Amino acid sequence: MYKVKAKAKAKAKASGLQGQGQTSEVKAMIFCPRGPHPCFFHVHERIQFKLATLTFRSLRGLAPRYFADDLRRVADMPSRRSLRSSTSHQLDVPRTRLVSVGDRSFSSAGSRLWNSLPREVVECQTVETFRQKLKHFLFSLSFPGH
């Protein structure tokens, strides 16, 4: 699969934070098996990539059933069928009581992330094209000038 190397140790040593357990910026280096070039993601983008991929697989029936049971499309809700959002690919974001725990659940975080993705990413038909377009989208967020 993928080899992930954290570049935090060198960054911490250069910034003088080694031993304090803190780094100013942590990046993960992902070596893709299909290409010789390394891909750089911030850790936050790597988590978003994994979460969005799992959400895509769940909606397409390619993940375990218990993941798909937590996701509901807005179009499938009887109370929202007459709204404009019923024709989109939006997911219902459930209300949670605890920000620290409830907002981090798969149903809440996955739905919120899915709704924030652009239409051309969400409408992909295969996992490979979804991952490619998602990776491009996340890179454009991380490195806006490139």
For residue range 73-121, what is the model confidence (pLDDT) as tens digits?
Answer: 877 766 655 555 545 688 888 888 877 788 888 999 999 999 999 999 9
Same domain, 84 and 126: yes
Run of H or E including 145? none
Residues 7 and 51 reside in one and the same domain:
no
Question: In which domain, by residue range, is 119 found?
Answer: 45-142
Quote the pTM value. 0.69
> Same domain for 23 and 90?
no
Same domain, yes or no: 25 and 89: no
Confidence tier at 7 by pLDDT (50, 70, 90) = very low
Two tokens, residue 138: 């996340």
Of the listed ranges 12-16, 49-53, 86-90, the one predicted with least confidence: 12-16
| 70: pLDDT strictly greater than 70 | yes
78 and 26 housed in the same domain: no
132 with 74, same domain?
A: yes
pLDDT in the model for residue 28: 52
Q: Give the chain's domain count.
A: 2
Assess whether 92 and 135 both reside in one domain: yes
29 shares its domain with 77: no
Q: Is 35 exposed, middle or buried (0-12, 13-18, 19+ CB in 10 A)?
A: exposed
Q: Are residues 32 and 51 in the same domain?
A: no
Q: Are residues 59 and 17 in the same domain?
A: no
Residues 77 and 119 reside in one and the same domain: yes
Q: Please tell me whether residues 122 and 62 are part of one structural domain.
A: yes
Q: How confident is the model at residue 141 (pLDDT cuts 50, 70, 90)?
A: confident
